[in-house]
Amino acid sequence: MKPINVTALALAASASSSAFATQYLTVEQAQQVMFPDATGFRDVSLQLTGEQMKQVEKLAGLPARSVAWRVFAAYKGDAQLGYVVLDDVIGKFELISYAVAVNPDASIKQIEILTYRESHGFEIKSPAWRKQFVGKTAAAGLSIGDGIASISGATLSCTHVTDGVRRIAAIAQVALKK
Amino acid sequence: MRRRAQPWLGTLVEITLADTPSEAAAALAFDAAFGAIAEVHRLMSYHDAASDVSKINQMAVGSAMQIHARTATVMRAALAMNAATDGLFDIACASRLVEWGYLPDAGLEHGRHHQLNHHERDRSALHIDEDGNIQKLAPTLIDLGGIAKGYAVDAAIDALQASGVAAACVNAGGDLRVYGETAFPIMIRDPRAPTQIGFRFDLKDAALATSGSYFSQKTVQGQLRSALVHGVDGSAVVNNISVTVQAPACMTADALTKLVLLSADPRHPLLQQFGATAFII
């Protein structure tokens, strides 16, 4: 008898408990889409100091939320083209991973959604539920479920993404600006 | 199939290309389509002080100004829809949305719209001529939230067609349109359980929009409110149904959802006039 793949079962179960889920771009694809001229990307992830956190909060008018931020610098040869900052935000029942392209002068160049997931409501507050999706990519074998269909319904506000972008704009101003 | 999504118009806008042109051609098509949506966002955002909508809200009564051709198209459609629906569809409901905290009072702080009462609104407060000059004849505060997303979808579809994409879907937070020979699977949220599928079907060469108050309902000073305002009596739509309208263009579908929701009539005679059909779930 063929052994049952427990990992695959667990993944299938978690995918079906998520009502709607779509993978748009992997981190690597987002880097290419936002900086098509780049020849390389370097991990320059940030650890904000207490003073920087305060400045970010003042500029954004929002809590800085995290000390650590995943950032890649985009290069064409030796010339730096800008940065890609990664973030995840949680709404009422949706978890959105997105990437923000930042110019060297700290202005926002582009925003791309990487993944979109919904829960039926209760799991969204659970760190375990969120952890299985945060930072994952299609290459990591995540099922996208009903991701090929388009959803119609009352407009779901994306205020938390807009706030997240405002926070990243402040972080860029404080910690990335050349 | 290629799919991208960006935040615009206060929601997530998703573009799906059914055929797979080269990487470079797809990138150009996405840029053109998201570019069109970004332009509509900049022109028609209530929140952006530099948008045409903000300028209209802040212009003095008796003054006139030139607006962008895109804004003029949406304004004309909105005013025509207001007349056709006897005021049920109304872009001048923004004062209510400000009152209930759905919109900031950006246009009010200049004093010109101070204490603008919903029932004192003048239906012919704005007039647009053929050249896109808009004239303000009475105090009014507008928000294009009930029609601009639909228009943005149409604008993105135009951009994709001009880019040579054979089949695509553009979805701005539930206001969507598909074109080409490909049928696209569509899921409508269950208004009583929004994270679940209420209805599922395939759509080809048509636009679809859904309206419901389930995401925006909240209690304001003891009263249940939503972001959907009844154009005639100024009340909030608070129920657990959703209205879906299919029409040839998304701007029409978007605006007509408000007519069906407020009239509670999925067979409203006006639908046929716009080549539209509707259902309530």
Report the distance separating Cα A15 and Cα A17, nearest Å. Answer: 5
Spatial CB neighbours of B60, under 8 Å, sequence gap ≥ 6: B112, B136
Q: What is the total residue count of chain B?
A: 281
Interchain CB distance below 8 Å, A152 and B210: yes
Does A122 contact B at CB distance below 8 Å?
A: no
Does A88 contact B at CB distance below 8 Å?
A: no
Q: Supply the pLDDT for residue A11.
A: 37
Q: Which domains does chain B have, with CATH numbers?
A: 2-43+147-280 (3.10.520.10), 59-136 (1.10.3980)
Decide the pairing of beta strands B242-247 and A68-76.
Answer: unpaired
**Nearest 5 degrees, angle CA B6-CA A135-CA A55?**
75
Closest CA of chain B from A50, distance in Å: 30
Interchain CB distance below 8 Å, A158 and B12: yes
Residue B74: Cβ within 10 Å count:
27
Closest residue by Cα to residue B55 from B112, B122, B123: B112
Q: Looking up tokens 């290459």, which residue turns up?
A: A139
Interchain CB distance below 8 Å, B175 and A152: yes
Interchain CB distance below 8 Å, A154 and B213: yes
Radius of gyration of chain A (CA): 18
- Residues from chain A contacting residue B30 (CB–CB below 8 Å): 33
In this prediction the ipTM stands at: 0.89
Helix axes B250-263, B148-162, angle to 10 degrees: 160
Spatial CB neighbours of B268, under 8 Å, sequence gap ≥ 6: B259, B260, B278
Closest CA of chain B from A175, distance in Å: 24
Between B195 and A5, the higher pLDDT residue: B195
Interchain CB distance below 8 Å, A152 and B184: no
Is B215:B238 a contact under the CB 8 Å cutoff?
Answer: no
pLDDT digits (tens, 9 = 90+) for B77-116: 999 999 999 998 999 888 888 888 888 876 554 444 444 5
Spatial CB neighbours of B72, under 8 Å, sequence gap ≥ 6: B128, B132, B134
Report the distance separating Cα B247 and Cα B253, nearest Å. Answer: 5
Examine the pLDDT at B120 and tell me if it is beyond 60.
no
- Residues from chain A contacting residue B214 (CB–CB below 8 Å): 154
Q: Which of A118-127, B68-77, B113-122, B199-208 has the lowest mean pLDDT?
A: B113-122
pLDDT classification of B23: cutoffs 50, 70, 90: confident
Largest Cα span, chain A: 62
Does B11 contact A at CB distance below 8 Å?
A: yes
Does A35 contact B at CB distance below 8 Å?
A: no
Mean pLDDT, range B148-168, rounded to an integer: 97
Report the distance separating Cα A174 and Cα B258, nearest Å. Answer: 44
* Burial group, residue A11, by CB count within 10 angstroms (0-12, 13-18, 19+): middle
- Residues from chain B contacting residue A155 (CB–CB below 8 Å): 10-11, 149, 173-175, 215-216
Q: Determine what percent of chain B is predicted with pLDDT higher than 70.
A: 93
Does A4 contact B at CB distance below 8 Å?
A: no
Which DSSP letter does residue B200 get? E
Is B16:A22 a contact under the CB 8 Å cutoff?
Answer: no
Is B182:B25 a contact under the CB 8 Å cutoff?
Answer: no
Q: Supply the pLDDT for residue A51.
A: 96
Does A16 contact B at CB distance below 8 Å?
A: no
The H-assigned helical ranges of A61-146 are: 127-131
Give SS3 for A150: strand
Decide the pairing of beta strands A68-76 and A79-90.
Answer: antiparallel
Nearest to B185 among A149, A158, A162 (CB): A149
Interchain CB distance below 8 Å, B10 and A162: yes
Examine the pLDDT at B68 and tell me if it is beyond 90.
yes
Mean pLDDT, range B274-281, rounded to an integer: 95
Is B63:B55 a contact under the CB 8 Å cutoff?
Answer: no
Report the run of H or E that residue A166 belongs to, with start and end: helix A159-171
Size of interface A-B (CB pairs under 8 A): 127
Between B207 and A117, the higher pLDDT residue: B207
Q: Which of A99-113, B101-115, B211-225 has the lowest mean pLDDT?
A: B101-115
Q: Supply the pLDDT for residue B16.
A: 95
Q: How many angstroms from the chain centroid is the CA of residue B35?
A: 18
In our burial notation (b when 16+ CB lie closer than 10 A, e otherwise), range B158-171 reads: ebbbebebebbbbb
Examine the pLDDT at A77 and tell me if it is beyond 60.
yes
Which DSSP letter does residue B113 get? T
pLDDT classification of B213: cutoffs 50, 70, 90: confident
Between A1 and A35, the higher pLDDT residue: A35
- Residues from chain A contacting residue B210 (CB–CB below 8 Å): 152-154
Examine the pLDDT at A117 and tell me if it is beyond 90.
no
Report the distance separating Cα B9 and Cα B28, nearest Å. Answer: 21
Q: Supply the pLDDT for residue B251.
A: 98
Q: Determine what percent of chain B is predicted with pLDDT higher than 90.
A: 67
Say what the pTM is.
0.89
Judged by CB atoms within 8 Å, which residues 131-150 of B form the interface with A? 149
Is B143:B93 a contact under the CB 8 Å cutoff?
Answer: yes
Q: Supply the pLDDT for residue A14.
A: 38
pLDDT classification of A78: cutoffs 50, 70, 90: very high
Interchain CB distance below 8 Å, A157 and B11: yes
Is A154:B214 a contact under the CB 8 Å cutoff?
Answer: yes
Q: A116: which 2 tokens?
A: 């979109």
Report the distance separating Cα B170 and Cα B165, nearest Å. Answer: 12
Highest mean pLDDT among A133-137, B23-27, B34-38: B34-38
Does A30 contact B at CB distance below 8 Å?
A: no
Parse chain A into domains and list their residue ranges.
24-176
pLDDT digits (tens, 9 = 90+) for B219-252: 888 888 888 888 888 888 888 889 999 999 999 9
Examine the pLDDT at B69 and tell me if it is beyond 70.
yes
Examine the pLDDT at B168 and tell me if it is beyond 60.
yes
Report the distance separating Cα A71 and Cα B72, nearest Å. Answer: 41
The H-assigned helical ranges of chain B are: 23-44, 52-58, 69-84, 94-99, 148-162, 250-263, 269-273
Q: Supply the pLDDT for residue B106.
A: 64
Q: Side chain identity at B186, as an amino acid letter? A: I
Interchain CB distance below 8 Å, A146 and B187: yes
Q: B168: which 2 tokens?
A: 């695509």
Q: Looking up tokens 């579908």, which residue turns up?
A: B253
Judged by CB atoms within 8 Å, which residues 135-164 of A form the interface with B? 146, 148-159, 161-162
Mean pLDDT, range A102-106, rounded to an integer: 95
